[in-house]
């Protein structure tokens, strides 16, 4: 790619369109969190069983990041977006007809797969169009995931209260089709070959400094991603149910989730700017350390005002973690494999979210409170920190060329 194209006006235009798409495409993983108390009440399910639709959503989301990432590498992002949007809309409709928690959970597997196109595949695609500002570009696209979670639950809360979660899902099916498909047609331009060749040489040099093959590093990053996201999932997945249990109600929980995710957007933007100076690995380590600190603050505070404050701090601390994994992949691994490599690491972080979401519900059912679930998250976050410190000790990536 020529210097006039990288970090160009077209790159920023593409970034804007990509963020708009992501804000709509990602709503599937947040809608299921908001409807969790309603689903639990309708089907008479336990807290762990009511968490299963989210868990299956995240498993589908994880697999979709890998498969759709490979599709983006081979066919381009537009075809992947169109197919995924159609799948998501169909699953929203089928979910509204589900007669049991088991069927609802299975449908959410497909919904998660389609929703995945709004995350890893879009992050991998936009990373090709920036060099000097790659960190902030990746962070902004990743922020569309949090913007989706901050905006849509609040917009749909009245419909959820008045008409039920089934009407919410039917509305989301329509919105997905009429927004994602037309916007995806604006992303048909392909990455020029000269940019891929230049980025490949940079990644090769960085990989040599790490002393690992791309495959080994990919699996190490995946293991770290599981640890950080088991920790991350406790507040994000269960904050609404947590507030219901404390007597504050689902509306308060939805507000805390929105506050948490808005804080995550700010964190991702700041982390992107930091990553453009320090690199993805150091930024990842900083975010993980801050997340562990914020997670600990949930233990002594359960009052209404303190929970609002801690939720905001948690969002501000951890938002930059997941996009930093994508930056590490781009710094060390071949660009022609960006969709697949980023997709794999994103898949592992999402498996961590799925595992943590279910595990926290299971711990709650056993212990009768979320205290042990918060402690569990802190332990997993500690494992993530150990892995990242080891990687940083042996890795010294050179700065990207202008």
**pLDDT tens profile 67-88:** 998 899 888 999 999 999 999 9
At residue 106, the pLDDT reads 93
Please tell me the distance from the alpha carbon of residue 370 to that of residue 348, in angstroms, as a whole number.
24
In the predicted structure, residue 401 carries a pLDDT above the cut 60 = no
Q: 3-state DSSP helix/strand/coil percent for the chain, to nearest 5?
A: 85, 0, 15
At residue 402, the pLDDT reads 39
Nearest to residue 267, comparing CAs of 315, 311, 332, 221?
Answer: 315
Q: Read off the DSSP letter of residue 337.
A: G
Residue 208 confidence class, pLDDT cut points 50, 70, 90: low
In the predicted structure, residue 103 carries a pLDDT above the cut 50 = yes
pTM higher than 0.85: no
Residue 193 confidence class, pLDDT cut points 50, 70, 90: low
At residue 71, the pLDDT reads 92
Report the 10 Å Cβ neighbour count for 290. Answer: 20
Sign of CA dihedral 208, 213, 219, 222: positive
Report the 10 Å Cβ neighbour count for 41. Answer: 10
Q: Where are the alpha helices (DSSP H) in 116-249?
A: 120-127, 134-163, 165-184, 193-210, 214-245
In the predicted structure, residue 58 carries a pLDDT above the cut 90 = no
Please tell me the distance from the alpha carbon of residue 262 to that of residue 147, in angstroms, as a whole number.
7
Nearest to residue 242, comparing CAs of 153, 373, 356?
Answer: 373
At residue 117, the pLDDT reads 94
Residue 248 confidence class, pLDDT cut points 50, 70, 90: confident
At residue 353, the pLDDT reads 83
Please tell me the distance from the alpha carbon of residue 32 to that of residue 53, in angstroms, as a whole number.
7
Both tokens of 248, joined, read 């504050």
Question: Mean pLDDT score of the chain, rounded to an integer?
Answer: 85
> Which of the residue ranges 44-48, 274-278, 335-339 has the most confident prediction, judged by mean pLDDT?
274-278
Residues 9-13, mean pLDDT to the nearest whole number: 92
> Which of the residue ranges 35-44, 173-182, 274-283, 292-301 has the most confident prediction, judged by mean pLDDT?
173-182
Residues 41-46, mean pLDDT to the nearest whole number: 78
Residue 400 confidence class, pLDDT cut points 50, 70, 90: very low
At residue 78, the pLDDT reads 95
Residues 213-238, mean pLDDT to the nearest whole number: 87
Nearest to residue 334, comparing CAs of 235, 205, 245, 170?
Answer: 205
Residues 189-201, mean pLDDT to the nearest whole number: 66
In the predicted structure, residue 116 carries a pLDDT above the cut 50 = yes
In the predicted structure, residue 294 carries a pLDDT above the cut 80 = yes
Report the 10 Å Cβ neighbour count for 115. Answer: 32
Residue 200 confidence class, pLDDT cut points 50, 70, 90: low
At residue 145, the pLDDT reads 85
Q: What percent of the chain has pLDDT over 90?
A: 35
Torsion of the alpha carbons at 310, 251, 257 and 151, rounded to the nearest 10? -140
The length of the chain, given as a count of residues: 402
Task: Say which residues have a Cβ less than 8 Å from residue 189's Cβ, sequence separation at least 6.
Answer: 10, 14
Residues 277-286, mean pLDDT to the nearest whole number: 89
Q: Where are the alpha helices (DSSP H) in 26-133?
A: 28-34, 36-43, 47-50, 52-75, 77-95, 101-115, 120-127
Tell me the per-residue pLDDT of 121-172, one tens digit each, with 9 for 90 and over. Answer: 999 899 888 888 888 999 899 888 878 877 887 788 778 778 888 888 999 9
CATH class of 9-394: mainly alpha
- 104 vs 39, which has greater pLDDT? 104
């Amino acid at each position: 790619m020529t210097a006039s194209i990288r970090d160009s006006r077209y790159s920023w235009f593409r970034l804007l369109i990509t963020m708009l798409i992501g804000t709509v495409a990602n709503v599937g993983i947040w809608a299921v969190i908001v409807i969790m108390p309603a689903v639990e009440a309708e089907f008479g399910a336990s807290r762990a069983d009511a968490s299963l639709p989210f868990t299956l959503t995240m498993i589908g989301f994880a697999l979709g990041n890998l498969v759709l990432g490979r599709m983006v590498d081979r066919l381009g992002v537009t075809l992947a977006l169109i197919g995924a949007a159609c799948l998501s809309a169909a699953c929203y409709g089928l979910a509204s007809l589900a007669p049991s928690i088991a069927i609802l959970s299975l449908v959410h597997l497909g919904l998660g797969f389609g929703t995945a196109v709004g995350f890893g595949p879009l992050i991998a695609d936009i990373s090709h169009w920036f060099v000097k500002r790659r960190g902030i570009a990746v962070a902004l696209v990743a922020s569309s995931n949090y913007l989706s979670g901050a905006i849509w639950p609040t917009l749909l809360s009245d419909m959820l209260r008045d008409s039920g979660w089934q009407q919410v899902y039917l509305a989301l099916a329509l919105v997905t089709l009429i927004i994602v498909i037309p916007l995806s047609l604006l992303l048909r331009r392909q990455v020029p070959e000269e940019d891929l060749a230049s980025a490949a040489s940079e990644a090769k040099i960085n990989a040599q400094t790490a002393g690992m093959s791309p495959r080994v590093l990919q699996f190490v990053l995946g293991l770290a991603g599981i640890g950080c996201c088991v920790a991350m999932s406790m507040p994000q997945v269960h904050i609404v149910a947590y507030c219901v249990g404390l007597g504050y109600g689902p509306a308060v929980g939805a507000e805390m989730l929105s506050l948490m995710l808005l804080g995550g957007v700010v964190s991702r933007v700041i982390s992107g700017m930091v990553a453009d100076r320090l690199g993805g690995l150091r930024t990842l380590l900083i975010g993980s350390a801050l997340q562990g600190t914020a997670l600990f603050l949930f233990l002594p505070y359960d009052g209404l005002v303190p929970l609002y404050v801690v939720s905001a701090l948690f969002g501000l601390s951890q938002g930059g973690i997941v996009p930093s994994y994508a930056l590490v992949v781009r710094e060390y691994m071949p660009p022609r494999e960006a969709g697949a490599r980023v997709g794999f690491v994103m898949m592992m972080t999402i498996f961590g979210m799925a595992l943590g979401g279910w595990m926290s519900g299971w711990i709650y059912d056993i212990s009768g409170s979320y205290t042990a679930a918060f402690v569990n998250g802190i332990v997993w976050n500690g494992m993530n920190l150990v892995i990242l410190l080891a990687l940083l000790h042996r890795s010294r990536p050179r700065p990207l060329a202008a």
